[in-house]
Amino acid sequence: MNLNDLPDNPYLLLTPGPLSTTKTVKSVMLRDWCTWDDDYNSIVQDIRRHLVRLATSEKGYTSVLMQGSGTFGVESVISTALPAEGKLLVLANGAYGRRIGQIAGRHKIDFRLLDSGELHPPDTHKLVEMLEADPAITHVAVVHCETTTGMLNPVEAIGKIVKSFRKVYIVDAMSSFGGIPLDMYRIGADFLVSSANKCIQGVPGFSFIVALQEELLKTKGRARSLSLDLYDQWEVMEKQSGKWRYTSPTHVVRAFAQALKELEEEGGVEKRHARYLQNQRLLVRGMRELGFRCLLPEQVQSPIITSFLSPKEKGYDFRRFYQELKERGFVIYPGKVTAMDTFRIGNIGEVFPKDVDRLLHAVKESMFWM
């Protein structure tokens, strides 16, 4: 089948993932791959090495792929990294930070939650106070880009504090890795988690973890789950040249390899970040001209997804607004902030400034309440 014969999507996904992908990424899934095949396993190994290079130029790091969504990856880290006597401190300022706490609670892991509210970055002064007051804390976890609001959290500043107390640092970089420049060594992260269907622009099906190998080796035998045992998954991939313990998402892995190639062809993370940033700035400027207001101040806003306050005019209804935009070729996201009425528009994926211009035109046409 010629790529030009593949049907176009009926709409552009303006979400934090899954997101709109290229035809070339989708097309490689037309081929079947055996999980035991050496060619397939070599693709897995290439991906693992590539992910480490994207995470840091320093030595001593490794990566492991894990079946399932990003939450599966986060749960594999939390349920494996924490020893029986360990204690986790979760820095939360949105739904995804709080979800880490839910994971810890489900596995009966001792944890504390420092919740700064959805409209503020994690409170670093309280972080210091809590680490000083509770030496039993062994691990600290935070979300880099909290897509509840679109806030970008100061993971480097947090990392310096965490490392000064000699704690293990876990960073959920689900919606930022591959789209925002980030050096794992520089921020002090021991475990970094992301997913195939985010800024690298693959399709849903697996998550991945980049880890400081020295720290990962300590987790042997700690896992509270069989299928989410991070150490065992890594050990099998290491010793058996890219083999997965259980059935792997072969088509998704192959699509991800293509997505990594296209990331490099675009110019790497810096160039992709520049495109996302341009998308976001054009979006905000255009939406403001139409009378919309952003939820967050510019200094903490990520280029990944933007939350807008819902119009107060009588007659506005998000579901109708959503449907009007969908009919014009765009899918946006409902709001997730608990205390305010918002909606969200993603800036990532195979989206370019010309698409943002088209979206703004569609928004103007869809403002039925005006």
Confidence class for position 16, pLDDT limits 50, 70, 90: confident
pLDDT in tens, 82-133: 999 999 999 999 999 999 999 999 999 999 999 999 999 999 999 999 999 9
Which residues touch 337 (CB under 8 Å, ≥6 apart)?
A: 118, 119, 148, 149, 295, 307
- Binned at pLDDT 50, 70 and 90, residue 20 comes out as very high
Q: Indicate if the pLDDT at residue 221 is higher than 90.
A: yes
Specify whether the CB–CB gap between 112 and 98 falls below 8 A.
Answer: no
Task: Provide the CATH topology of domain 24-264.
Answer: Aspartate Aminotransferase; domain 2 (3.40.640)
Q: Which amino acid is at 114?
A: L
Average pLDDT over residues 50-61: 98
Lowest mean pLDDT across 14-28, 133-147, 178-192, 264-278: 14-28
Q: Identify the weakest region by mean pLDDT among 6-15, 53-62, 192-201, 260-269.
A: 6-15
* pLDDT at 17 (0 to 100): 84
Mean pLDDT, range 175-201, rounded to an integer: 98
- Could you give the percent of the chain with pLDDT greater than 70? 98
CB atoms < 10 A from the CB of 25, how many? Answer: 23
Distance CA 202, CA 13 (A): 13
Q: Which long-range contacts (CB under 8 A, 24 or more apart) does 164-168 make?
A: 165/131, 165/137, 167/89, 167/131, 167/137, 167/138, 167/139, 167/140, 168/81, 168/138, 168/139, 168/140, 168/215
Instruction: Tell me what pLDDT residue 6 has.
Output: 62
Question: Domain coordinates of the chain in residue numbers?
Answer: 24-264, 268-365
- In terms of CATH, what superfamily is 268-365? Aspartate Aminotransferase, domain 1 (3.90.1150.10)
Q: How many CB atoms lie within 10 A of CB 69?
A: 19
User: Which pLDDT score is estimated for 34?
Assistant: 86
SS3 65: strand
Query: 24-264 and 268-365: same fold?
Result: no
Do strands 87-92 and 139-143 pair parallel, antiparallel, or not at all (unpaired)? parallel
Q: What is the mean pLDDT of the chain?
A: 96
